């Protein structure tokens, strides 16, 4: 390989490397100039006066301590410490509401009135069912007593006795 040809091949590479180094140096110098590296940051202020003595022609002023209130604003949600949830165990129509949100209440105070017509109807229906059950029990007891009297006279079958006893237990 010819040394002259080898150096010719390296010349473009060397030029590119030199250009890159030159550009990098220029960018670094510009950044240093923008940061103020080449300028003085602190000017000579001269002699600092001693404490308690006036600085030049300026008279001394009394220092007074004052309080400045500090207020801050913040975004957030206010939640109560104690929260009460009111709910009915029954499904009924609300007739009247006696309190408002945030109002203080005491124990035993009526908060809401519900329509009790459906509850009264259910109560009457349950009372009628109890009366019907009592009547069925009384009938079963009467049938059982009658079958027992007939059984003592040997006029009732065992099956009738069993049926009457089962009916009485069920009633």
Residue-by-residue DSSP string for 1-21: --HHHHHHHHHHHHHHHHHHH
pLDDT of 3 > 70? The answer is no
- Residue 129 is predicted with a pLDDT of 94
* CA atoms of 121 and 132, how far apart (whole Å): 16
- Residue 61 is predicted with a pLDDT of 76
Q: Rounded to 5 degrees, what are φ and ψ at 154?
A: 60, 35
**pLDDT-wise least confident of 55-69, 102-116, 147-161:** 55-69
pLDDT bracket for residue 4 (50, 70, 90): low
pLDDT of 101 > 90? The answer is no
Residues 140/164, Cβ–Cβ less than 8 Å: yes
Place of tokens 């604003």: 73
* CA atoms of 125 and 131, how far apart (whole Å): 10
- Residue 51 is predicted with a pLDDT of 59
Give, in degrees to the nearest 5, the angle at Cα 44 between 43 and 46. 145
The percentage of residues in the chain with a pLDDT greater than 70, rounded to a whole number, is 88
* Average pLDDT, rounded, for the chain: 84
- Residue 53 is predicted with a pLDDT of 60
Residues 160/147, Cβ–Cβ less than 8 Å: yes
- Residue 34 is predicted with a pLDDT of 92
Between 72 and 2, name the one with better pLDDT: 72
Residues 96/81, Cβ–Cβ less than 8 Å: no
> Model confidence over 45-84: pLDDT tens digits?
555 555 556 667 777 777 888 998 888 888 999 888 877 7
> Model confidence over 17-53: pLDDT tens digits?
999 999 999 999 999 999 988 887 766 555 555 555 6
Collapsed DSSP state (helix, strand, coil) of residue 94 = strand
DSSP state of 60: P
Residue-by-residue DSSP string for 106-117: -TT---EEE--H
| Cβ neighbours of residue 49 closer than 8 Å, sequence gap 6 or more | 55, 56
């Amino acid at each position: 390989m010819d040394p002259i040809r080898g150096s010719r091949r390296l010349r473009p590479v060397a030029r590119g490397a030199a250009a890159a180094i030159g550009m990098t140096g220029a960018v670094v110098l510009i950044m240093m100039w923008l940061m103020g590296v080449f300028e003085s940051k602190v000017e000579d202020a001269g002699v600092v006066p001693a404490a308690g003595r006036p600085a030049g022609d300026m008279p001394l002023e009394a220092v007074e301590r004052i309080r400045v209130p500090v207020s801050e604003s913040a975004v957030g949600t206010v939640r109560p410490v104690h929260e009460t949830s009111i709910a009915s165990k029954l499904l009924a129509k609300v007739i009247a509401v006696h309190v408002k949100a945030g109002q203080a209440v005491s124990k035993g105070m009526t908060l809401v009135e519900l329509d009790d017509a459906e509850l009264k109807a259910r109560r009457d229906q349950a009372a009628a069912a109890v009366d019907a059950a009592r009547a069925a029990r009384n009938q079963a007891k009467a049938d059982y007593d009658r079958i027992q009297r007939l059984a003592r006279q040997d006029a009732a079958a065992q099956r009738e006795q069993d049926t009457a006893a089962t009916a009485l237990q069920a009633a």
